[in-house]
Amino acid sequence: MARDHVGRWRVAITGMGVKSPAGCDLKSFTEAVRSARPTAALVTGFDTTGLPSRIGCQIQDFDPNTYASAKMRRRMSRFAQMGLAAALDAYVDAGSPSIDPLRAGISSGSCFGGTQVCHETSLVISQRGPQFVSPFTASMHMANSPAAYIGPELGWHGPSVTTTTACATGTDAINAGTRMIREGEADAVLAGAVDTDGVGILMLAAFGQTGALSSRNDDPGQASRPFDADRDGYVMGEGAAYLMLERYELAAARGARIYGEIAGCGRTSDSHHITAPHPEGRWVVECMRAAIRDADLTPAAITQVNCHATATPVGDAAEARALLTVFNGAPPPVTASKGVFGHAVGAAGAVEAIVAVLSARDGLVPPTGGFDRLSDDCAGLDVVAGAPRRVDSGPVVSNSFGVGGQNASVVIVPPEMP
């Protein structure tokens, strides 16, 4: 069938690109996630003395030279370089399809954008004067900078939007790209997000002062502990991930390899507190229900959940309560990828969507890194740990919840069986 249960165009996932602390290609990324290898370490590159949290999950092997010329790189911030790279990888992974440029769109996202550029520019102004500010400062800082490079690189002229909804950004950007195709605005969309400045000194200091970050500076590898009884906060990370989305029947007609399908999208707002989630996860419940309903499924059909689970005491407990409510006290197996590659903030939902796509396709729940013992306030959850677990290949829910009460969920289903 070309259309879904309410007559919208179906949305296939035909390509994926990722840059993360767990790997900068799909193979190494998948191996790291499924072996639950934590990537947190002491932050390098600047003096962390005096910071409450001096650890982070940093990307070690990203080489921008493959994706942009030296002249182009000088005009780009690191987050734009990484976003462009992940998006181009997704396009190539999809087979570099030939698409009508007016029917090809971009749905990108970032929480921090080029925050580090602003920080460094402020130092230039204070130390040398405003006349030494780079003329590329504004474009390097803008949140839509990655999209502004992706479009010209591919020669696309369809819709291009940039989303910023804190830690829900990545999932929201994928859902926005899905809507472009569903509603007939585009035939193909590169959808995803990027954030790299969470492990810069400005954001590491700012979030550290809120008390939200893990202070296990002497044992970084055990710092990110989703749902664990000894969790004490999240570990800042960085990353980029984009999915190549296409109208399902057009992808099938060209013989594309289809990883899966975006079947349902949900979004709500807590409107509760600027940083704390609603303690019972009330609006998270409605978000997940909306996504499952949008996919024309029931909770009983969901085979696993890729949780937002940042490893904060309050956030994980709220998500656990929401899961228990949505699934009538018996949620399916859950996993939390941030135990491996930390919290990539705006990029988190996009990176985790790749985990969910592969999990749905392969019928495999990855183990949760850093998890040893279930916390009492998360009782009732079946947290997969130690080794991957086989389940039926079927629909997966992936959750993202952002500071300010931004909630986003997506339902991903495996490709059609022949």
Q: Is 418 within the bounds of a domain?
A: no
Q: Are residues 315 and 401 in the same domain?
A: yes
In 3-state terms, what secondary structure has residue 249?
helix
Q: Are residues 247 and 281 in the same domain?
A: no
Q: Does 111 qualify as catalytic in the annotation?
A: no
pTM: 0.97
3-state secondary structure 347-395: HHHHHHHHHHHHHHHHCEECCCCCCCCECHHHCCCCECCCCCEECCCCC
Q: Are residues 231 and 82 in the same domain?
A: yes
pLDDT on residue 418: 37
Enter the tokens of residue 151: 């479009």
Where among 221, 253, 285 does a domain terminate?
253
Q: Does 308 qualify as catalytic in the annotation?
A: yes
Q: Is 247 within the bounds of a domain?
A: yes
Where among 222, 253, 284 does a domain terminate?
253
Burial class of residue 219 in the structure, from the number of CB atoms within 10 Å of its CB (0-12 exposed, 13-18 middle, 19+ buried)? exposed
pLDDT on residue 417: 45
Answer whether 174's CB lies under 8 Å from 74's CB: no
Q: Are residues 223 and 344 in the same domain?
A: no
Which amino acid is located at 245 in the chain? L
pLDDT on residue 276: 82
- Walk along the chain (418 residues) in steps of 10 and give the mean pLDDT of each run: 92 98 98 97 94 96 93 94 98 98 98 93 95 93 96 98 98 98 98 97 95 96 97 98 98 97 97 85 96 98 98 97 98 98 98 98 97 98 98 97 95 81
Residue 76 belongs to domain with CATH number: 3.40.47.10
Q: Are residues 24 and 67 in the same domain?
A: yes
Host domain of residue 280:
262-413
Is the four-CA dihedral 289, 290, 291, 293 of positive or negative sign?
positive
Where among 253, 278, 313 does a domain terminate?
253
Q: Are residues 211 and 360 in the same domain?
A: no
Q: Does 119 qualify as catalytic in the annotation?
A: no
- Give the count of beta carbons closer than 10 Å to the beta carbon of residue 392: 11
Q: Is 4 within the bounds of a domain?
A: no
d(CA 386, CA 402): 28
Q: Is 5 within the bounds of a domain?
A: no
Q: Which of 57, 118, 343, 378 is catalytic?
A: 343
Q: Are residues 301 and 233 in the same domain?
A: no
Number of domains the chain contains: 2
In angstroms, what CA-CA distances link 10 with 187, 248, 288, 344, 408? 10, 5, 20, 29, 20
pLDDT on residue 205: 95
Q: Is 387 within the bounds of a domain?
A: yes
Q: Are residues 246 and 100 in the same domain?
A: yes
Q: Which of 111, 118, 307, 308 is catalytic?
A: 308
Q: Is 77 within the bounds of a domain?
A: yes
Q: Are residues 242 and 275 in the same domain?
A: no
Enter the tokens of residue 169: 């950004």
Q: Are residues 179 and 323 in the same domain?
A: no
Q: Are residues 114 and 239 in the same domain?
A: yes
Nearest by Cα to 286 from 312, 317, 325, 315: 325
Q: Are residues 73 and 208 in the same domain?
A: yes
Nearest by Cα to 373 from 390, 385, 362: 385
List of residues 6+ apart from 353 with CB closer than 8 A:
170, 171, 174, 192, 241, 243, 398, 410, 412
pLDDT on residue 416: 81
Q: Which of 57, 111, 167, 265 is catalytic?
A: 167
Q: Is 167 within the bounds of a domain?
A: yes
Answer whether 158's CB lies under 8 Å from 105's CB: yes
Q: How many helices (H) and strands (E) does the chain have?
A: 13, 14
Q: Is 181 within the bounds of a domain?
A: yes
